[in-house]
Protein backbone atom coordinates (compact mmCIF):
# COMPACT_ATOMS: atom_id res chain seq x y z
CA UNK A 1 0.00 0.00 0.00
CA UNK A 2 1.18 3.53 -0.58
CA UNK A 3 0.73 6.85 1.15
CA UNK A 4 -1.65 8.87 -1.02
CA UNK A 5 -1.94 11.96 1.20
CA UNK A 6 -0.82 13.42 4.53
CA UNK A 7 -3.08 15.68 6.57
CA UNK A 8 -2.02 19.26 7.21
CA UNK A 9 -1.49 18.63 10.92
CA UNK A 10 0.44 15.42 10.11
CA UNK A 11 -1.81 13.34 12.38
CA UNK A 12 -3.46 11.31 9.60
CA UNK A 13 -2.21 9.37 6.57
CA UNK A 14 -4.35 8.38 3.58
CA UNK A 15 -3.09 4.93 2.63
CA UNK A 16 -4.26 2.54 -0.08
CA UNK A 17 -3.64 1.15 -3.55
CA UNK A 18 -4.90 4.33 -5.23
CA UNK A 19 -6.23 7.70 -4.06
CA UNK A 20 -9.92 6.86 -4.52
CA UNK A 21 -9.87 3.60 -2.58
CA UNK A 22 -7.42 4.78 0.11
CA UNK A 23 -8.55 5.24 3.71
CA UNK A 24 -7.45 7.66 6.41
CA UNK A 25 -5.50 6.28 9.36
CA UNK A 26 -4.81 8.16 12.57
CA UNK A 27 -1.24 8.31 13.85
CA UNK A 28 -1.02 7.71 17.62
CA UNK A 29 1.55 9.59 19.72
CA UNK A 30 3.67 6.44 19.97
CA UNK A 31 4.22 6.39 16.19
CA UNK A 32 4.75 10.11 15.47
CA UNK A 33 8.56 9.83 15.34
CA UNK A 34 8.35 6.77 13.07
CA UNK A 35 5.75 8.38 10.78
CA UNK A 36 7.43 11.82 10.62
CA UNK A 37 9.89 11.02 7.79
CA UNK A 38 7.24 9.31 5.66
CA UNK A 39 6.22 11.14 2.51
CA UNK A 40 3.50 10.96 -0.11
CA UNK A 41 4.28 8.11 -2.51
CA UNK A 42 6.12 5.95 0.03
CA UNK A 43 5.21 2.26 0.00
CA UNK A 44 4.39 1.05 3.52
CA UNK A 45 3.42 -2.07 5.43
CA UNK A 46 1.07 -1.48 8.35
CA UNK A 47 -1.18 -2.95 10.97
CA UNK A 48 -4.15 -1.06 12.33
CA UNK A 49 -7.07 -1.27 14.69
CA UNK A 50 -10.40 0.44 14.93
CA UNK A 51 -10.48 3.10 17.63
CA UNK A 52 -13.28 3.67 20.12
CA UNK A 53 -14.69 6.41 17.90
CA UNK A 54 -14.78 4.07 14.88
CA UNK A 55 -11.78 5.64 13.16
CA UNK A 56 -8.82 3.57 11.95
CA UNK A 57 -5.66 3.94 14.04
CA UNK A 58 -2.21 2.66 13.08
CA UNK A 59 -0.57 0.12 15.35
CA UNK A 60 2.61 -0.31 13.31
CA UNK A 61 3.92 1.21 10.10
CA UNK A 62 7.10 0.53 8.17
CA UNK A 63 8.39 2.02 4.93
CA UNK A 64 9.13 -0.69 2.40
CA UNK A 65 9.82 1.43 -0.69
CA UNK A 66 8.84 4.51 -2.65
CA UNK A 67 7.14 5.25 -5.94
CA UNK A 68 9.54 7.02 -8.25
CA UNK A 69 8.50 9.44 -10.94
CA UNK A 70 9.47 8.69 -14.53
CA UNK A 71 12.32 10.93 -15.57
CA UNK A 72 12.53 9.63 -19.11
CA UNK A 73 9.16 11.07 -20.12
CA UNK A 74 9.49 13.17 -23.27
CA UNK A 75 8.89 16.90 -22.93
CA UNK A 76 6.24 18.46 -25.13
CA UNK A 77 7.73 20.93 -27.59
CA UNK A 78 4.55 21.60 -29.60
CA UNK A 79 6.57 21.47 -32.83
CA UNK A 80 8.80 24.41 -31.86
CA UNK A 81 12.53 24.46 -32.49
CA UNK A 82 14.88 25.02 -29.53
CA UNK A 83 15.51 28.59 -30.72
CA UNK A 84 11.77 29.31 -30.77
CA UNK A 85 11.36 27.80 -27.31
CA UNK A 86 14.17 29.99 -25.94
CA UNK A 87 12.62 33.05 -27.56
CA UNK A 88 9.23 32.28 -26.01
CA UNK A 89 10.88 31.79 -22.63
CA UNK A 90 12.73 35.12 -22.85
CA UNK A 91 9.53 36.92 -23.88
CA UNK A 92 7.64 35.39 -20.96
CA UNK A 93 10.38 36.37 -18.49
CA UNK A 94 10.39 39.91 -19.89
CA UNK A 95 6.62 40.07 -19.49
CA UNK A 96 6.84 38.84 -15.88
CA UNK A 97 9.57 41.38 -15.14
CA UNK A 98 7.56 44.29 -16.55
CA UNK A 99 4.48 43.25 -14.56
CA UNK A 100 6.56 43.01 -11.39
CA UNK A 101 8.00 46.50 -11.99
CA UNK A 102 4.50 47.89 -12.54
CA UNK A 103 3.56 46.46 -9.15
CA UNK A 104 6.58 48.20 -7.58
CA UNK A 105 5.68 51.68 -8.87
CA UNK A 106 6.06 54.27 -6.14
CA UNK A 107 7.86 51.80 -3.87
CA UNK A 108 11.33 51.94 -5.39
CA UNK A 109 13.72 54.76 -6.18
CA UNK A 110 13.75 55.62 -9.89
CA UNK A 111 17.51 56.19 -9.84
CA UNK A 112 18.24 52.48 -9.30
CA UNK A 113 15.40 51.00 -11.37
CA UNK A 114 17.85 49.42 -13.82
CA UNK A 115 19.58 47.33 -11.14
CA UNK A 116 16.20 46.32 -9.70
CA UNK A 117 15.01 45.32 -13.18
CA UNK A 118 18.13 43.18 -13.71
CA UNK A 119 17.69 41.46 -10.33
CA UNK A 120 14.01 40.73 -10.98
CA UNK A 121 14.78 39.42 -14.49
CA UNK A 122 17.56 37.13 -13.20
CA UNK A 123 15.29 35.85 -10.42
CA UNK A 124 12.52 34.97 -12.89
CA UNK A 125 15.10 33.45 -15.20
CA UNK A 126 16.34 31.16 -12.44
CA UNK A 127 12.77 30.16 -11.56
CA UNK A 128 11.76 29.40 -15.15
CA UNK A 129 15.01 27.66 -16.01
According to DSSP, residue 106 is labeled: T
pLDDT digits (tens, 9 = 90+) for 61-104: 988 876 655 555 566 667 788 889 889 999 999 999 999 999 98
3-class SS of residue 25: strand
Q: pTM value?
A: 0.50
Of 100, 97, 87, 102, nearest in space to 121 by CA = 97
Amino acid sequence: MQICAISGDKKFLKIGEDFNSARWYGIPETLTTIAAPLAKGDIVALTHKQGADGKLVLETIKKTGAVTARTDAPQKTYGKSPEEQDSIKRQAIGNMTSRALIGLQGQVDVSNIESIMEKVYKKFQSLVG
